[in-house]
Structure 1
Amino acid sequence: MTKVIFLDAAGTLFDVRGSVGEVYRQLANSFGVTVNSQELNAAFSQSFASASPMAFPGIELAKIPQLEFEWWQAVAAKAFQIAGVFHQFSDFPQFFAELYAHFATAEPWFVYPDVFPALNKWQKQGIELAVVSNFDSRIYAVLKALKLAEYFTSVTISTEVGAAKPDSQIFTAALQKHNCLAENVLHIGDSFKADYCGAKAAGLKAIWLNREPEKVVESGKLPLTETKIEQCSSLDYLAF
């Protein structure tokens, strides 16, 4: 019996309106920087993929927000460097401070349409809900701004735990907040490696929320590491 459902955040509950590149481009334009949003989005993806996991083991909680800020500043700076427009900034730190604050609001995000119906259904069934994410501490403000915070009993993020999914440590930390065995917990997330494989390795049940199965198949990136992969394309299809 599923007693607790862990959910990933970005890409599962909510996502960026349009693209990261477009949001970055719009604000950069107000600082006099001209860049193509598609090129910038590709540059961001490259920068983000090459970054170290956003986790700071052994660091006291009070210092984590600044480290998160610096981590994201490095990712953003590299994205603009890859796009070849970093030199256009007269004050990149000021630009990034505004960009970072922007992503702590509801404005750049949208909630997937299947999320609220699913959360309400699970709440009525008496299932505890929790967020387990490789997000930073802005997650608390974002969940509140998107009217999602009230649904979750706990929030566990990589920067506070000191380990990022798929590391089992973050799942263990989340489990400790709930009086429940791992086998009675289901984790749902959009990353095959971080969410599905990570949760299964930690002893949890897992479902890969593959919101764009056509793109995965077309790109030839369908994971074949297991003979059977529990997946769905929408939370609408899940019933407990």
Structure 2
Amino acid sequence: MSLLPKLRCVTVDVTGTLMAYKGELGDYYCMAAKAAGRPCPDYKRMHEGFKYAYKDMAKNYPCFGFAAKMPNIVWWKTCVQNSFVRAGYEYDEETFEKIFRRIYASFGSSAPYTVFPDSKPFLRWLRGQGLKVGIVSNAEYRYRDVILPALGVEKPDPRIYEIALERAGNIAPEETLHIGDSMRKDYEPAKSIGMHALLLDRFKTPEAVEWRKSGAVVLPDLTATQEWLSSEKSTC
């Protein structure tokens, strides 16, 4: 029997599921550095620097500093500065301020993001089926429709899914499907509280092989997801 008639709600991840970043991180850091009159930093070093700086900030000040009452701009300023330092670049205070302001403004706009062409049609289709639709994402407050970090909870903490169901009108987990692109942050925590879940593999990631072996439903995009939900064989 199709899963669709059993559902009352569908929650969806944002980055990698509904939209993606345009270009590389280094593109935006390079443009910001050049605008401040400094040479373009090395892309690979910048990427690695950001990866570790972001990981440290997320560990020490989770939910973009929510629990520590750290202003969002301070969280990101510290993260960006540490990213440059880890990549081997240090600037005087005035220069860094110019660089950071440009980076912060860029990622607070729509410029670095692109919405997948199947996202809006899929969300409209869900609403047309009479389903409630919600976003569950670790994106910070500048994403208008985000469920957190105002709640002080981040994926993969299963509580974020429980809060989402409560906000949707106390919908039961077994009446809800979550769609995301991370086994650790999306699939496992959603399943742990009894929700249905599936994963998207838009970029043909090597990990998807293991996802399928574990029994997870893995689909290439939201068009395929709509077709799967409409079929008589959909179950997860």
Root-mean-square deviation (CA, aligned residues, Å) is: 2.4
Q: Report the TM-score when normalising by structure 2.
A: 0.82
Alignment gaps of 5+ in structure 2: 1-5, 230-236
Aligned to 2:206: 216
SS in structure 2 at match of 1:188: strand
- Larger-gyration structure (1/2): 2
Aligned residue pairs: how many? 217
Matches within 5 A, 1:1-240: 1-34=6-39, 35-53=41-59, 54-55=62-63, 66=71, 68-87=72-91, 90-140=94-144, 155-157=146-148, 159-179=149-169, 180-213=171-204, 215-216=205-206, 222-223=209-210, 227-239=214-226, 240=229
Q: 1:175 to 1:191 in 2, by over 3 A?
A: same
Q: Give the superposition deviation at 1:17.
A: 0.6
Q: Give the superposition deviation at 1:30.
A: 0.8
Q: 1:116 to 1:93 in 2, by over 3 A?
A: same
* Partner AA of 2:118 in structure 1: D
Per-residue displacement from partner, 1:138-185 (whole Å, max 9, x unpaired)? 001xxxxxxxx6xxxxx411x211111010111111111112111111
Percent pairwise identity: 26
**Range 131-140 or range 14-23, more displaced:** 14-23
Q: Report the TM-score when normalising by structure 1.
A: 0.80
SS in structure 2 at match of 1:208: strand
Q: 1:225 to 1:86 in 2, by over 3 A?
A: farther
* Partner AA of 2:162 in structure 1: T
